[in-house]
């Protein structure tokens, strides 16, 4: 995605440093000298004297000059696992210096082509630009790494430390897959789109032939049929209309692989790891991009500890707004019982296809889906399955508990299927098209109410 290239830096005040070995040398020298006085052995003076040389030089030598730093990312937006060029500009002081650079923080950004710590020699007043690349492992808003530069003098006795705290951030969007087939909403809306509607009108898909009526256009006349029947007949077609698609994100829970292990075996999990919310966001971005390309209106509702939404809209701008909203999705824990009445009516247009992206773990989220179905919404569920994140059960009781848990979840899925709601899990490591295909297949088999 395009972004501006600009400086994002706020350098702290330089700080003078001394090499750690100077303290050790002074301690050794003092110990030797005191021992010489106590023991009355001049040899110890000769042993300790060399360790005073470098501290004496350090005391008299001029400190290394500070290095000026600037961190310039090539852009401020990227996709997951995309390489983002990063330029680190250095400007030396009025003396040559041995510069040690270290990239601090930003554990989610992998540095490519360089290690996080490296040293170089900078001549006096030399300006150098280091070209790095960073690659974000996961979506979200990431702070750029801080840069710590220590400029040492030639003898590496005294140095000057400068820490550059970046003020910029990198917005990383979930990577969308290309879908070959989309879930077909059961109802159409009034706007022009890519889907054939059941009504008759101007369009591409042939519907029927009927007798000519005043007002019909001459170019709609089917001359062959008219010649065969002796009366003018016209072609009728299905007009292309769009649909409304609402992506409902269940943000009550976010389970990661580490946390799933905690659920199974106990311990401390890593809340920042890959998990159910990541699956949901990638599917959401994929569906949004595909449906917007098909000229459907797409809206997003984040239903969880907090309620967030984006009204249905068309076009590329809507995709950018959805991507920005998804990047800032977070799970906020809450005990408050929430129902669908809280969702403003304009966010759930009549006839909209509601695609729920949910791990089906929180009762509030599950009950909201049943409520939506009861209100007659066209509902499809994409399950962000927790089961692939769980490790193998380690004991007989765990195996039994796992079986019971699986049976409960299968029973829940069956309840939805009985209501005509397609439900398919996301298979980790497999294309998302497989999940969408399963939903499409179920909906074809169920038999839908007539399209409008």
Partner 1 sequence: MAALCAWVALEASRLTGVWEALAAASLLSFALGVGACRRAPVQLAVALLGAAYLGRLLAAHATLDLAAPLLGGGLLACAELAEVSLVLRGAALDRSLRLRSRLAVALAAALGGVVIGALALAAATVHVGRSLILTATGSAAIAVAAWLVVRLGR
Examine residue 22 and tell whether it contacts partner 1 (CB under 8 A): yes
Q: Give the whole-angstrom CA distance, residue 449 versus residue 6.
A: 54
Instruction: Give residues 27-46 in contact with partner 1 (rule: CB under 8 A).
Output: 28-37, 39-46
Q: Which is nearer to partner 1, 56 or 397 (CB)?
A: 56
**Using rule CB under 8 A, residue 26 touches partner 1:** yes
Position among 18, 72, 74, 412 found at the interface with partner 1 (CB under 8 A) = 18
By CB under 8 A, name the one of 1, 5, 12, 59 that touches partner 1: 59
Element (H, E) at 21: helix 20-39
Measured CA angle at 413 (ends 411, 417), to 5 deg: 115
Contact 185, 353 (CB under 8 A): yes
Nearer of residues 28 and 262 to partner 1, judged by Cβ: 28
Residue 224 interacting with partner 1 (CB under 8 A): no
Tell which residue, 74, 241, 247, has the closest CA to residue 176: 247
| Nearer CB in complex with partner 1: 2/38 | 38
Does 53 participate in binding partner 1 (rule CB under 8 A)? Answer: yes
| Residues 6+ positions from 282 with CB-CB distance below 8 Å | 174, 175, 176, 177, 432
Q: Which of 54, 65, 66, 63 is nearest to 26 (CA)?
A: 54
Q: For residues 134 and 113, what is the distance between their CA atoms, to the nearest angstrom?
A: 9
State the minimum distance, in angstroms, from the CB of residue 16 to partner 1.
Answer: 9
Handedness of CA 338, 344, 346, 347 (dihedral sign): negative
Rank residues 44 and 436 by Cβ distance to partner 1 and give the closer one: 44
> Token pair of 137, please?
């492992």
Give dist(CA 297, CA 310) in Å, integer: 11
Selected binder of partner 1 within 11, 17, 57, 325 (CB under 8 A):
57
Q: Smallest gap, in angstroms, from Cβ of residue 90 to partner 1?
A: 11
Q: x/- contact string, 117-146, with partner 1 (CB under 8 A)?
A: xxxxx-------------------------
Q: Which residues contact 113 (CB under 8 A, 6 or more apart)?
A: 131, 132, 133
DSSP bridge pairs for 97: 122
In this chain, which stretch among 18-26, 183-191, 293-301, 371-379 interacts with partner 1, using CB under 8 A?
A: 18-26
Question: Closer CB to partner 1, residue 40 or residue 447?
Answer: 40
For residue 423, list its beta bridge partners.
381
Which CB, 128 or 321, lies closer to partner 1? 128
| By the rule CB under 8 A, 110 interacts with partner 1 | no
Neighbouring-strand partners of residue 127: 91
State the binding string over 81-100 for partner 1 (x if CB under 8 A, else -): -----------------x-x
Task: Enumerate binding residues for partner 1 (CB under 8 A).
Answer: 18-22, 24-26, 28-37, 39-59, 98, 100, 114-115, 117-121, 154-156
């Amino acid at each position: 995605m395009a972004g501006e290239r600009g400086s994002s830096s706020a350098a702290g005040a330089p700080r003078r440093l001394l090499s750690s070995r100077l303290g050790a040398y002074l301690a050794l020298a003092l110990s030797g000298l005191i021992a010489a006085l106590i023991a009355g052995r001049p040899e110890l003076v000769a042993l300790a004297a060399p360790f005073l040389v470098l501290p004496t030089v350090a005391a008299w030598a001029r400190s290394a000059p500070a290095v000026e730093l600037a961190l310039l990312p090539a852009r401020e937006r990227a996709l997951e696992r995309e390489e983002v060029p990063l330029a680190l500009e250095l400007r030396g002081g009025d003396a040559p210096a041995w510069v040690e650079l270290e990239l601090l923080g930003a554990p989610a950004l992998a540095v490519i082509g360089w290690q996080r710590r490296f040293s170089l020699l900078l001549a006096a007043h030399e300006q150098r630009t280091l070209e790095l690349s960073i690659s974000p492992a996961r979506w979200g808003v990431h702070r750029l790494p801080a840069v710590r530069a220590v400029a040492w003098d030639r003898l590496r006795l005294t140095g000057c430390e400068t820490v550059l705290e970046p003020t910029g951030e990198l917005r990383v969007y979930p990577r969308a897959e290309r879908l070959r087939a989309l879930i077909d909403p059961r109802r159409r809306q009034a706007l022009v789109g890519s889907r054939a509607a059941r009504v008759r009108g101007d369009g591409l898909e042939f519907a029927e032939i009927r007798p000519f009526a005043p007002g019909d256009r001459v170019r709609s006349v089917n001359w062959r049929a008219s010649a065969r029947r002796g009366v003018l007949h016209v072609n009728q077609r299905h007009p292309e209309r769009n649909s409304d698609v609402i992506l409902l994100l269940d943000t009550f829970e976010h389970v990661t692989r580490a946390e799933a292990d905690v659920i199974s075996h106990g311990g401390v999990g890593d809340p920042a790891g890959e998990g159910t919310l990541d699956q949901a966001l990638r599917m959401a971005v994929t569906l949004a991009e595909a449906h917007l390309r098909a000229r459907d209106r797409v809206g997003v509702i984040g239903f969880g500890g907090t309620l967030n939404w984006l009204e249905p809209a068309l076009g590329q701008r809507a995709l950018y707004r959805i991507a920005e909203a998804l990047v800032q999705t977070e799970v906020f824990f809450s005990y408050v019982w929430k129902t669908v009445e809280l969702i403003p009516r304009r966010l759930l247009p009549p006839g909209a296809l509601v695609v729920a992206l949910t791990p089906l773990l929180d009762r509030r989220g599950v009950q909201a889906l049943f409520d939506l179905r009861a209100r007659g919404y066209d509902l499809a569920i994409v399950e962000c399955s927790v089961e692939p994140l769980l490790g193998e059960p380690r004991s007989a009781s765990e195996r039994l508990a796992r079986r019971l848990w699986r049976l409960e979840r299968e029973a829940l899925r069956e309840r939805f299927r009985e209501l005509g709601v397609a439900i398919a899990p996301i298979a980790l490591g497999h294309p998302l098209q497989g999940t969408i295909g399963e939903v499409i297949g179920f909906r074809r088999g169920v038999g839908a109410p007539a399209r409008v």
